[in-house]
Amino acid sequence: MSKVMIIGAGGVSRVVVHKCAGLPEVFGEIVLASRTMSKCEAIAAELDRPILTCSVDADNVPELTALLEKHRPDLVLNVALPYQDLHIMDACLAAEIDYIDTANYEPTDTAKFEYSWQWDYHDRFREAGVTAVLGSGFDPGVTSVFAMYLRKHYFDEVRAIEIVDCNAGDHGQPFATNFNPEINIREVTAKGRYWQAGEWIETEPLSVSRPFVLPEGLGTMNIYTMYHEELESLARHIPELKRARFWMSFSDNYLKHLEVLGNVGMTRIDEVEFKGQKIVPLQFLKALLPDPASLGPLTKGQTCIGCIVSGVKDGMPKRYYIYNICSHEAAYRETNSQAISYTTGVPAMIGAKLVLQHVWDGDGVFNMEEMDPDPFMEDLNCFGLPWKVVELAADETNYAFS
């Protein structure tokens, strides 16, 4: 039996806490620590077993280190914001406690995310004998494990990975984001980037798109290429990879709102003077938009996230589609959260479980691709995110990405 400290008490955290609480044989004790105590207490009140709650500013490394020393968890599961990653890693190093997160570090003043900052911690974690696993959400997270699972069992060589993230659900709001609005809008308005023939190709934001027919009758959606962090780690860990791209679905309504907000300056992340105060427009916009956690009871429909992987097996070209479909309503019934939080929180719990059980082990900083995909894939089926692998016919145009 182990003790976990979960940091952050937002939408993803709610799912993580529910899932960990449902597995007392692994998560014997749970400490939920976040900036706003009332949010920790609200999550704790939904559970049928007691957990400890406390407030912490995770950006204050001495304060967080003292909290870790006091509670001595076996693992810290970081589901605060990407801005906190390095501070939480610093505290974990100081207290010698294993670490896992769901999103890579991003500085507040630049809308740029890359692994270099966290990879830089590798030697320090290795020397301290501490494990850090980066990006155990769905994307990044499951998408990387999906790709590695296919690489291990279905291919001799992987050539191309197309990650396709579709949300065929609807929350009925004129405009809302499914996870933290600030992080979401920074990501979506950034330039696109994909890996091709050993180099990064940059594109204007959301400038490359195509229709995509979802499996199992979920309909057709327009998907757009974006930069996403697992492209960087997949390109590093699959040296034979010729191309890796990330696609996400957006409705015309979402894109129109985003365009207008961008045009009037509301998505800016630099400070502007307003009535003698400095404000960041995007942070102000976040305060006006619906809290993603409030979308749980409103959201209907399904998400479908997966990878289309092409490569070679026994000298023959092969292509497979591996995906999960997740129902917003079912996620809400189980955890009081919609499927975006659910599909992030369940893999975060599974990654934490595998580290605590020493099934995933190692001293240093690791991406999901470096771990054995099999136990994680098994747990996805057990804990609410079942997946399917479909072999694609050579003439299947919907899945043939040119």
The residue among 306 and 311 lying less far from ligand NDP, judged by its C-beta, is: 306
Pairing outcome for strands 272-274 and 277-279: antiparallel
R_g of the chain computed on alpha carbons: 20
Indicate the SS3 state at residue 293: helix
Residue nearest to ligand NDP (CB): 10
Q: Which positions from 189 through 248 interact with ligand NDP, judged by CB under 6 A? A: none
292 binds ligand NDP (CB under 6 A): yes
Q: Is 179 in the site for ligand NDP (CB under 6 A)?
A: yes
**CB 103, min distance to ligand NDP, A:** 3
Question: Measured from the CB atom, is 197 or 288 closer to ligand NDP?
Answer: 288
For residue 367, state whether it binds ligand NDP (rule: CB under 6 A).
no
Identified binder of ligand NDP from the candidate list 18, 19, 39, 318, rule CB under 6 A = 39
Taking the C-alpha atoms of residue 110 and residue 122, their distance in angstroms, rounded to an integer, is 23
Among positions 137, 169, 192, 384, the unique one binding ligand NDP when judged by CB under 6 A: 137
| Closer residue to ligand NDP, CB minimum distance, 40 or 308 | 40
* Minimum separation from the CB atom of position 108 to ligand NDP (A): 11
Pair 355, 305: CB distance under 8 Å: no
The reply to whether 10 sits near ligand NDP by the rule CB under 6 A is yes
Which of 26, 153, 151 lies closest to 77, judged by CA? 26
Contact 107, 74 (CB under 8 A): no
The number of residues in the chain equals: 402
C-alpha atoms less than 13 angstroms from C-alpha of 346 in its C-beta half-sphere: 24
Nearer to ligand NDP, 136 or 310 (CB): 136
Within 294-353, which residues bind ligand NDP (CB under 6 A)? 344
The yes or no reply on residue 11 touching ligand NDP (CB under 6 A) is: yes
Name the DSSP letter for residue 69: H
Q: Each residue of 297-321: b (16+ CB within 10 Å) or e?
A: ebbebbbbbbbbbbbeeeeeebbbb
The reply to whether 13 sits near ligand NDP by the rule CB under 6 A is yes
6 binds ligand NDP (CB under 6 A): no
Work out how close the CB of 213 gets to ligand NDP at its nearest, in angstroms, rounded to a whole number: 23
Residue from 102, 144, 299, 367 in contact with ligand NDP (CB under 6 A): 102
Residue 81 binds ligand NDP, judged by CB under 6 A: yes
Q: Whose Cβ is closer to ligand NDP: residue 105's or residue 121's?
A: 105
- Check binding of 384 to ligand NDP (CB under 6 A): no
Q: Does 369 bind ligand NDP (CB under 6 A)?
A: no
Angstrom distance (rounded) from CA 225 to CA 207: 7
Counts for the chain of helices (H) and strands (E), in that order: 14, 18
**Helix or strand (DSSP H, E) at 160:** strand 157-167
Shortest gap between Cβ of 367 and ligand NDP (angstroms)?
12
Provide, rounded to whole angstroms, the least separation between the CB of residue 312 and ligand NDP.
Answer: 29
Q: Does 58 bind ligand NDP (CB under 6 A)?
A: yes
d(C-alpha 300, C-alpha 218), whole Å: 13
Q: Is 12 left (phi over 0), alpha (psi -120 to 50) or beta?
A: alpha
Decide whether 36 or 207 has the Cβ nearer to ligand NDP: 36
- State how far the Cα of 56 lies from the Cα of 37, in Å rounded to an integer: 8
Q: Does 8 bind ligand NDP (CB under 6 A)?
A: yes
Per rule CB under 6 A, is residue 63 in the interface with ligand NDP? no
**DSSP letters along 5-25, please?**
EEE--SHHHHHHHHHHHT-TT
Interacting residues with ligand NDP (CB under 6 A): 8-13, 34-36, 39, 56-59, 79-82, 84, 102-103, 137-141, 179-180, 183, 292-293, 344
